[in-house]
Amino acid sequence: RRRQRYVEKDGKCNVQHGNVRETYRYLTDIFTTLVDLKWRFSLLVFILAYAVTWLFFGLIWWFIAYCRGDLEHLEDHAWTPCVNNLNGFVSAFLFSIETETTIGYGHRVITDQCPEGIVLLLLQAILGSMVNAFMVGCMFVKISQPNKRAETLVFSSHAVVSLRDDRLCLMFRVGDLRDSHIVEASIRAKLIKSKQTQEGEFIPLDQTDLSVGFETGDDRLFLVSPLIISHEIDERSPFWDVSRHQLEKDDFEIVVILEGMVEATGMTCQARSSYLADEVLWGHRFTPLLSLEEGFYEVDYGGFHHTVAVPTPACSARQLAAAAARRQAQLYWSIPSRLDQP
C-alpha cells in the first residue's frame, strides 16, 4: 500500500484545513490573505479594487452634477458647472479615472464654484493613494516572493544508509543550481511517524528531530557545491534499533527543510522535500560530482541522484556498536595474556 505523504517531493505540504469556524481571522490580516491568494484571484481583486473605486467616485461626481443642475445647462455658457465638460455618467467615470490616476488630460476640470466637488476631490485623492499603496504593495510582495528561488534548490531523489568512519549514517544530498548563493543556509530534518505512548495515547504523525549537526554547527551550510547531509545513527537517533530488514517493513517519512536568505533580495527562502521508507536505500553511497578542471572546480549534476552499492552491515546501529565493543574488549584482554608468555 502506497503511503500518503505528509510533504510532497516538491515541498508542498499535503495538509488541508477543514471546519475552520473563526474565518474572521483571515480578514483581520487582509494583506497576508491577499498575498496568499492564487494569481488568478489576486489579479481579479487587483482589477476589482480599481474598477469599483473608479465607478464609485464616478457615480458621486455624476450625482453632484445632477443635483446641481449641471446636466440641464450643458449648452448654457453663462452657467458655471462643478466640473467643466461633464455631460453624463460616462464623462463622470472618465473624470474619476483622471482624478485618481492624476492623468490630467485638461478637457474636464473642476471649478472653484463647487465646494462639495473640492471636498470629494480631496477624498478621492487620499483614498486613491491608499488603494494604490495597498494593491501595489500586495502585487510587489507577491511578485518578489522567493518561492521560485526554491525551485533551483534540489534534493536527491533517495536517501541512503551506509558506513561513515565505522558508524551507520543516514545521508541525503542537497544542491543549488544557481550561481548566486543562499546566505546563512541551514538544514533540518524531521522524522514523521505515528506512535503510541506508554499511557495508550495514539499520536498520529508525531515529529522527531533528526540531528544533522546542530551541536557541531554542521547544519549551517556553505552551499556553493552539492553537499551530502549526514545523520549519525547513535543512541539518540530514532533509527538506533532499526536494521535493514526492519527498515524495509517500517512506515515513516523523513522531511528535510533547507532555509536561507536569497543573496539578491535578502528575503528568506525555504525548500522542502521528503523521503518515504522505500526511498531510503540501505547499503548505498552517493557518487562524487566534483572534479578539478583547469583553474576551477566543475560539478556534474547529471549524476546528482546516482548512488552505488557498498558493503554495509545489515544489523542495526545498536548491534553494530555492541559487536565493536566486544571486539575491543577481546583485544584489550588478549594483550596482557600475550605479554605474560615467556
pLDDT above 80 (res 331): no
> 194 in a domain, yes or no?
yes
For 123-156, what is the HEC assignment? HHHHHHHHHHHHHHHHHHHHHCCCCHHHHHEEEC
What pLDDT does residue 281 have?
Answer: 94
What pLDDT does residue 131 have?
Answer: 92
User: For the chain, what percent of residues have pLDDT higher than 90?
Assistant: 45
pLDDT level of residue 339 (50, 70, 90 thresholds): very low
Report pLDDT digits (tens) over 39-65.
899 999 999 999 999 999 999 999 999
> 54 in a domain, yes or no?
yes
Range of the domain at 291: 148-325
What is the overall mean pLDDT for the chain? 87
Higher-confidence position of 121 and 340: 121
164, 104: one domain: no
Report pLDDT digits (tens) over 225-236.
999 999 999 999
- Mean per-residue pLDDT for 317-321? 89
264, 297: one domain: yes
Q: What is the CATH number of the domain that holds 280?
A: 2.60.40.1400
Picking from 325, 312, 305, the residue whose alpha carbon sits closest to that of residue 154 is 305
What pLDDT does residue 141 have?
Answer: 84
219, 304: one domain: yes
49: Cβ contacts below 8 Å, ≥ 6 apart: 131, 134, 135
Count: domains in the chain: 2
